[in-house]
Amino acid sequence: MKRLRKKLHSCSGESLVETLTAIVVIVFSSLLLLMSVVVASRFNQNAGRLSDAYQTALAQAELHTAEPRQGTVTVVGQDGGRQEITVNYYSGDGTLTSYAKEGG
Amino acid sequence: MKPSQSVRQKLHSQRGASLLITLLFFMVCLLVASVTLTAASAGFSRTVKQRTEQKLYLSVSSAAQLLQNELETMPDFEARKEVLSHQCGQSLSIHLTGGDFQTKEGEWTLTGDAGAAVLQTYLWQDALALCKAPDTAPEAHTFTIEPDDESMSAVRVKMTAGTVKTDAAGQNSYQIVFTLSAVDPDDKSKTLSTYAMTLSAEASVSSASDGGKDDPQGRYCTYESTGKYWDPVLGEWRSLTGQKVYKLTTYTCTVRWGGVKLTKEA
């Protein structure tokens, strides 16, 4: 019992525990930083890829360079009147689409 | 040991300092990592948001271009009004056709048919209303342009025509303003102000009349002159009676659409 109390109050080996803990924390922190940088660069890569695809799709839709698909737009009046107009749809990647009147 | 001495000792002690520095390093790493991740995810979500907004922009701009195209190819509007008048009862004569009119004004009527075209119907309704009453702005019309492509949004259009104005050159015209905004895909009763666009067009109004001609139906009125002459055969003063053919004047109101201008709303 006396021995145990002495061990508890002893300061010997304390600097070693401190150093080891510090090393663990530094390694953990560095890993955290590295992981975040890796994840961020992946995010950026994906964003860049998305942005490139977006720019291409936008140009195809806006400048009508995509393959046209014939369709219609319906004009619905406040009194319920309906008018169908034949148009060409230009879709960049299936999500960005514009249309223009045939021959217009 | 005195308490002040113990505090001073604690302040000057270097025990556990490396752990404190390590924790500080950890905190800095955590901060840098969170900032990096937040910035990267913000960039990513901005790209996704940009795509959604661009869909709305393409829907609205396509609808605007369609309207512009429709306006540029819109046939001219023409309405006619016939006015029947006569000269009986004027310049020293008495009008004998009992209960007859002096001038009968007809209604403005369209010379063509707008058919089932919604935009043309609204444009012609406004043009007709302004031919009848140039100083009264017609009521606004609302219609929706619905594409059959699922990736696109419907666009709501509010069409407002102004009153007829005369410029310095004496040319009559009125302005038509189309305000386009995308319909909220989640709530069809609402519109999204993002990428709202305004399309304005100038409608020139010209009026003409054929100067009047004899009634093609040959209708006429009867008159009696107020001045009398002596008839030696009958031996009495007599007045002169005669007939005058009605005069039919046709007024024409023509409206032409042009000067279409597209602007993006702020």
Q: Which pLDDT tens digit goes with each residue over B168-192?
A: 888 899 999 999 999 988 888 888 8
Helix (H) or strand (E) holding A84: strand A82-91
Q: Which residues of B touch A78 (CB under 8 A)?
A: 141-143
Over residues B55-64, mean pLDDT: 91
How crowded is residue B94: how many other Cβ atoms within 10 Å of its Cβ?
A: 13
CA-wise closest residue to A56 among A87, A25, A91:
A91
Beta bridge partners of B47: none
Q: Domain residues of chain B, as ranges?
A: 49-264
pTM above 0.95, yes or no: no
Nearest chain A alpha carbon to B36: A40
Question: Does residue B266 have a pLDDT over 50?
Answer: no
User: CA angle B148-B150-B155, nearest 5°?
Assistant: 65
Gap from A1 CA to chain B (nearest CA, Å)? 27
B51: Cα separation from own chain's centroid: 30
Coil, helix or strand at residue B115: coil
Class of residue A87 by CB neighbours under 10 A (exposed 0-12, middle 13-18, buried 19+): buried
Q: Would you state the pLDDT for residue B177?
A: 93
Gap from A2 CA to chain B (nearest CA, Å)? 25
Q: Domain residues of chain A, as ranges?
A: 10-101
Computed on alpha carbons and rounded to an integer, the radius of gyration of chain B in Å comes to: 40
Cβ contact A73–B23 (<8 Å): no
ipTM of the complex as predicted: 0.73
Closest partner residue to B58 (CB to CB) among A61, A74, A81 is A61
pLDDT tens-digit map of B190-230: 888 777 899 999 999 998 999 888 888 888 888 777 777 88
How crowded is residue B199: how many other Cβ atoms within 10 Å of its Cβ?
A: 21
Question: Does residue B82 have a pLDDT over 80?
Answer: yes
Closest partner residue to B37 (CB to CB) among A14, A40, A73 is A40
Over residues B78-107, mean pLDDT: 77
Over residues B115-141, mean pLDDT: 89
d(CA B246, CA B85): 6
Q: Which residues of B touch A104 (CB under 8 A)?
A: 65-66, 69
Spell out, as residue ranges, where chain A has pLDDT lower than 50. none
Q: How far, CA to CA in Å, does B122 sit from each of A77, B161, B241, B259?
A: 9, 10, 52, 18
Over residues B78-88, mean pLDDT: 85
**Which phi and psi (to 5°) does residue B178 adopt?**
-110, 120
Q: Would you state the pLDDT for residue B86?
A: 78
Nearest chain B alpha carbon to A84: B117
Over residues B138-165, mean pLDDT: 93
> Whose structure tokens read 């540029």?
B72
pLDDT tens-digit map of A63-91: 888 889 999 999 999 888 899 999 999 98
- Residue to substitute from B18, B34, B73, interface A, most A β-carbons within 10 A: B18
E strand map for chain B: 77-85, 93-95, 103-105, 109-110, 141-147, 155-161, 165-166, 172-183, 191-209, 213-214, 220-231, 236-245, 247-264
User: CA angle B166-B169-B170, nearest 5°?
Assistant: 40
d(CA A14, CA B213): 122
Better pLDDT: B10 or B167? B167
B178 near B196, Cβ under 8 Å? no
Q: Which of B38-47, B58-67, B131-140, B248-257 has the lowest mean pLDDT?
A: B38-47
Binned at pLDDT 50, 70 and 90, residue B64 comes out as: very high
Binned at pLDDT 50, 70 and 90, residue B34 comes out as: very high
